[in-house]
Chains A and B, each alone.
Chain A
Amino acid sequence: MIIPLDLALLFFLVVIGIAALTVKDLLAAIVLLGAYSFVMATVWVQMHSPDVGFTEAAVGAGASTALMIAALSRLERWSSD
């Protein structure tokens, strides 16, 4: 049986999403969200929408992660849940 590429990527996406919500280190959670955005960009390029994939890789994974880490430098790093 051949597994479609985007089905494997979508399972990967679910795993990364759950991991980003469960880790207690907020820096790790933010970096996992960046990885989530990059996998999502790959899914969109695979779905024949490379423009959306480029924008997600630049804005969602790059700029958002930088903003979140900049904000986290003023906050506590560890979360209780």
Chain B
Amino acid sequence: MGIESLVSHVIEKYNYWMAVILMLIGLYGTIGKDNLIKKLIGLNIFQTAIILFFISLGDVRTGPLGEGGIAPILTEHLPWSAVEHAGNEATFIYASPLPHVLMLTAIVVSAATAAVALALIVRIYEEYGTIQEEEILTKEIERERAE
């Protein structure tokens, strides 16, 4: 394998590289940010990056412009169908529906976890009067000293 084919092999998989970049952005938001809402936004970005990775795994493409597979829908009887008839059997390539179903569940779960996290943040704000993590920690230390 020459160096040129290796480079083009890496560049063709740009979906995965973008998923990794988005994951790193989300990780930075989760760890590096001080505000709790910003941490939640980072978590959300991380989740969508992982879903993007799985959807990329299920997609089929034969050319550089995304041509190849179709959505996993029965298209044989539709008038605009792109089905090519080879002999008597209809053949068509479609994206794998298994990751789609799994990630459909993951999206709904991510909305539910975000709702729980927001409830916890509102409760923390009622208790400490701030949603900055540093200020919460200083107030916690002050309380322990006062006891």
Contact = CB atoms under 8 A, between A and B. Distances in A.
A54 B84 CA distance: 28
B38 A52 contact: no
Interface in B86-110: 94-95, 99-100, 103-104, 107-108, 110
Interface residues of A, number: 45
B136 interface: no
A49 B121 contact: no
Interface in A48-81: 48-52, 55-56, 59-60, 63-64, 67-68, 71-72, 74-76, 79-81
B107 A56 contact: yes
Main secondary structure of the interface of A (DSSP, over half): helix
B42 A59 contact: no
Contacts of B35: 26, 79-81
Contacts of A21: 25, 28-29, 33, 38, 41-42, 45
A60 B48 CA distance: 9
B122 A75 contact: yes
Contact of A40 (B48, B108, B111): B48
A75 B37 contact: yes
A37 B55 CA distance: 15
A36 B29 CA distance: 15
Interface of B: 14-15, 18, 21-22, 25-26, 28-29, 33-35, 37-38, 40-42, 44-45, 48, 51-52, 55-56, 58-60, 64-66, 69-72, 94-95, 99-100, 103-104, 107-108, 110-111, 114-115, 118-119, 121-122, 125, 130-132
